[in-house]
């Protein structure tokens, strides 16, 4: 399949009521695990990269992994930049071949968020690259930036409507009570607010902080308009735990390809579990 942007997968997902998983990759093996799991489940999928991962490997390398895997598979695969505050990094990713980017100016006042998002749309749309923006502030730690419970602000539906009327945005990430990282208690999701934002904006919405949400919460959020569902922490845990547990159960083994093979299978299981929870299997 050719490399595609969010418009090739999200409007259909929103219309048909399923979620497309956006999985934060860490290296080539995890990228391969995401694409293989999508392929085995005939699901569209989003390879999501944090700016930190992009900086570690370099734009050209990550874009090459994407092209090589996406072009050989029969399912739609998007390459998306997650939570980026730096326009220069966004520019480099667009030039390298990302098909979608997120500008996160949610900590700025509304007008500045609008202005920065408009700049990113101007950079991205001539290249056919879709844009996600955030409104309100999502709790937790992402990209080493911690947003505490007191700082976190839920997205305002009227402001969301104004934001989306003023821009030709492709998808919106409204803060609705979910959080990045591991939940310490039961998350309190503002379903009414989510429903109103979905109705007033008409856009596919992105659900952040997916790790640890229950099947019921996923189903309800997806039914209310969350066409993109983000999973990062879960993959980080599987990535490290699988490697360590393989070593613990094979203490004499120093052939790393065996560790990598085990890790790949464990990552695929985690991606598969989420794809199925979101109703994305068979939707490619
Ligand atoms: P989790 O780390 O909670 O899975 O959230 C992922 C996310 O929303 C990335 O933007």
Confidence of residue 144 (pLDDT cuts 50, 70, 90): low
How far, in Å, is the centroid of ligand 1 from the Cα of 254? 33
98-119: average pLDDT: 97
Q: Average per-residue pLDDT in the chain?
A: 96
Above 90 in pLDDT, residue 146?
no
pLDDT at 150: 58
What is residue 180's predicted lDDT score, i.e. its pLDDT? 94
Percent of the chain with pLDDT over 70: 96
- What are 68-71's contacts with CB under 8 Å, separation 24+? 69/31, 69/32, 69/35, 70/1, 70/2, 70/3, 70/35, 71/1, 71/2, 71/3
Q: Which residue has the tokens 């360590």?
A: 244
- The pTM is what? 0.96
Q: From the CA of 153, how far away is ligand 1's center (Å)?
A: 17
Q: Using CA atoms, how far apart are residues 4 and 47, in angstroms rounded to an integer? A: 11
- Residue 1 confidence class, pLDDT cut points 50, 70, 90: confident
Which of 55, 56, 82, 77 is closest to 67 using CA atoms?
77
For ligand 1, mutation pick of 230, 234, 236, 267 (most atoms within 8 Å of CB): 230
SS3 content of the chain, % helix, strand, coil (to 5): 50, 20, 30
Residue 149 confidence (pLDDT) above 70? no
- Tokens for 120, please give them: 């990113």
Q: What percent of the chain has pLDDT above 90?
A: 92
Q: In the structure, what pLDDT confidence band is assigned to residue 148 with cuts at 50, 70 and 90?
A: low
49-86 pLDDT, tens digit per residue, is 999 999 999 999 999 999 999 999 999 999 999 999 99
State residue 226's pLDDT score: 98
Which numbered atom of ligand 1 lies nearest the CA of 138?
A: 8
């Amino acid at each position: 399949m050719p490399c595609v942007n969010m418009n090739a997968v999200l409007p259909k997902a929103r219309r048909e009521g399923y979620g497309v998983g956006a999985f934060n990759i860490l290296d080539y093996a995890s990228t391969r695990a995401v694409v293989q799991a999508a392929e085995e489940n005939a699901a569209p999928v989003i390879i999501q990269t944090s700016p930190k991962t992009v900086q570690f490997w370099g734009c050209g390398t990550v874009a090459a992994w994407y092209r090589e895997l996406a072009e050989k598979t029969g399912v739609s695969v998007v390459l998306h930049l997650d939570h980026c505050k730096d326009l220069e990094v966004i520019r480099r990713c667009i030039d390298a071949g990302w098909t979608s980017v997120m500008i996160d100016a949610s900590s700025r006042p509304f007008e500045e968020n609008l202005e920065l998002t408009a700049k990113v749309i101007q950079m991205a749309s001539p290249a056919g690259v879709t844009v996600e923006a955030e409104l309100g502030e999502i709790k937790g730690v992402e990209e080493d930036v911690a947003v505490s419970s007191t700082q976190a602000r839920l997205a305002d539906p009227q402001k969301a409507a104004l934001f989306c009327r003023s821009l030709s945005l492709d998808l919106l990430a409204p803060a609705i009570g979910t959080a990045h990282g591991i939940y310490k208690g039961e998350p309190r999701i503002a379903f009414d607010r989510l429903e109103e934002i979905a109705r007033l904006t008409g856009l596919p919405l992105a659900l952040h902080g997916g790790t640890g949400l229950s099947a019921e919460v996923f189903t309800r959020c997806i039914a209310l308009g969350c066409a993109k569902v983000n999973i990062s922490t879960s993959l980080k845990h599987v990535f490290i735990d699988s490697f360590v547990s393989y070593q613990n159960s094979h203490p004499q083994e120093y052939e790393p390809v065996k560790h990598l093979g085990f890790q790949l299978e464990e990552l695929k299981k985690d991606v598969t579990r989420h794809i199925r929870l979101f109703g994305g299997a068979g939707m490619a």
